Amino acid sequence: MAAHQRPILAANWKMNHGPTAASAFMASFLARYARRDDRSVILFPSALAFAAARSAVADRPDILLGVQNINAAEKGAFTGENSAAIALDAGAAYVLVGHSERRHVFGETDAETAEKVKRAAAHGLVFVLCVGEKIEEREAGQTDAVCVRQLRAAFSGLPAETLRDAIVAYEPVWAIGTGRTATPQDASNAHAAIRTELRALAGDTGAQIPILYGGSVNAGNASALLSAPDVDGLLVGGASLEAESWAAICSAGA
């Protein structure tokens, strides 16, 4: 995979936009967002809307696609799940791993996240590892410790070459979907700690891994967040569901 062009703007639609809505969204978004070569745009549609999104960007190779989750197994009797191989065959190039909702709603452990990272890497999927603290951890001054623990669990033991295409997303759990956003300084501080750990884990490769911020990002705060030191892009939830706001975010910081 070629080096990511920064900033990286990633949209996580979560369980929103079925195929019909995805097609309508893409038509509206692409009409507002002209191709440009100074940033990377990645969409993570719901599994059943993936084909519709892929069809819509057939003539826009600048818009990249990923899946929101994979199972750690190669294949098998796992009703409702999708594997790395299936995601790749469907046309995905990226996968979210360890999103806070997978961790805190579905109970995914650090060990399970690590297995998904290994499976994604084995199939050549670029994994976006999500890390971040809950409000009680933040108030206890544990932000850095939580992020470091999650990074080590997912990346320790992996060769630097495996991490060359990796992306990390810092998403404080207390800021996701709550309207509470980390300030640019908050984000920068957390990203600095993440960067230090990535260097410790992977040397020069760790110094180059993009770090995205995610948590109540919108068109109004995107530029300020992107201007903060060590913020290489954004992982956006709710504000990526409307074509106008997503197009504005994708053009932020220009």
Indicate which residues carry an active-site annotation: 99, 171
Q: Say if residues 104 and 12 touch (Cβ distance below 8 Å).
A: no
In one letter, which amino acid is 201?
Answer: L
Angle, helix 184-208 to helix 143-155, in steps of 10 degrees: 30
CB atoms within 10 A of CB 15: 10
Residue showing tokens 């590892």: 129
Give the contacts of 152 (CB within 8 A, at least 6 positions apart).
197, 201
Q: What is the CA radius of gyration of the chain?
A: 17
